[in-house]
Structure 1
């Protein structure tokens, strides 16, 4: 942008404004250039300054000018090409394509493309938008991305990481699960450490939810349905072991309670009717502090109310 004075006179104390905000100051006439224009640079621009006619005037402002910055091309997307999309025959490996779209008014602008695996370039900028991944590296397709740029590199944009297709697509890559990245500590001491994008596992079988079905609403994938088999012997749980160990103690406690009930019944009967138990008139039994347990069931007497 250029701020001009009357009859191209020099403008002093020159300010440029973008949407009312000062963005650049010059001591005298100079052009304002946006090196990397983006859509956010669109807006209304204005300049102000003074002129010496013949003495320096007060600051004067120019009219506002609307500027629209349009995107030259969209951010590229890296995708896997199907068997019918590749040119020629006999491709060994997987063909990747870096796709973008130029603005309709700049559709004839030539673009160059570069391809990367992690942070390492596997093909530097060239006019071709396709790259063939060698067969040994097919398992690590998710680590690739591409970059599109103009011939002068004044505008360059990179793509996201490659998103692999799912099962049932023309190129079934579910079996090519990327291995887990190695730890950085295992790298040799004479080589720089590198970090990799963690792969996404695709080996987990899918589960389908069936609407309006019975209580068995989840269906397992074909070939993985559970089958009935012979019973399996399992070791007893800790709860079962503790229950088996407490059973003799419970039986012993029940026998002692029955014996105590019989003794109390005999004592109550003797207190109510001393003649009812003639066998106890000789030497009365002396109560002890513990009860003897016999192997049989003790006899008990009923106590009337």
Structure 2
């Protein structure tokens, strides 16, 4: 019996690449990758160049059973576009729905959309995590674009019969991580003093290994059809505790200054970085109980192990 073919978009990104590599190790599925630019997957599997923008037709949908759509215009802290929402919509809404319609026409059975916890909102009160079935409340342009894409995909599913699965991850980390998490690794490894030693929030994260495992579970699980799931490691940490554990994984004792959150907010306001302060000091928790109840899924990798893997990968790259 031929293994089901899975098309993975955004295969040059952290999530897409990790998913393809996992599928290559799993004889149950046959991955086909699409990427906008260069990718390390060339020579390992079929790789198809593809842009979400414009009217290009996806050339690799023949005999595909599942599409995992991880390509996106990603959220950035310092947005420079004059009309950010319009730019996000071009890729995250219009591009996503164009691809989904083509997938439905080609007979794809299931479309898995990697969305964002930002569809739920920006923050939670301590002890009151987001759930998969909460009413969406996106705030920024990125979150709005992901929500609009979700709604469009649900309509396509109703009209076509193609199953849609939505997965909303919070901050994703792991080997190869970039952006703010990579900056934290650099600062901690260099022993830079950080003013984050007295933050008592609670935040959920998801390691790339756990997120990929959830995606793989959703590839063919009957109970995943037309459902929304939140991703997470199943453990919440304060920013202070995260830095302590990450420092320990690097073999360093972090130099954390006990600056109170209210003072960090005030200083951030003076330099126009209120959004950064909210992310560092605020809480954002997710409840992944639905994953366990409907899919029998629990995170296979502990947060401590995932942080060690992330740190080991960073340190190895520093020696090359």
Q: TM-score band (shorter)?
A: under 0.3
User: Which structure dedicates a bigger proportion of its chain to helix?
Assistant: 2
Q: TM-score, normalised by structure 1?
A: 0.24
Give the structure, 1 or 2, with the largest relative contact order (CA under 8 Å, sep 6 or more): 2
Larger Rg: 1
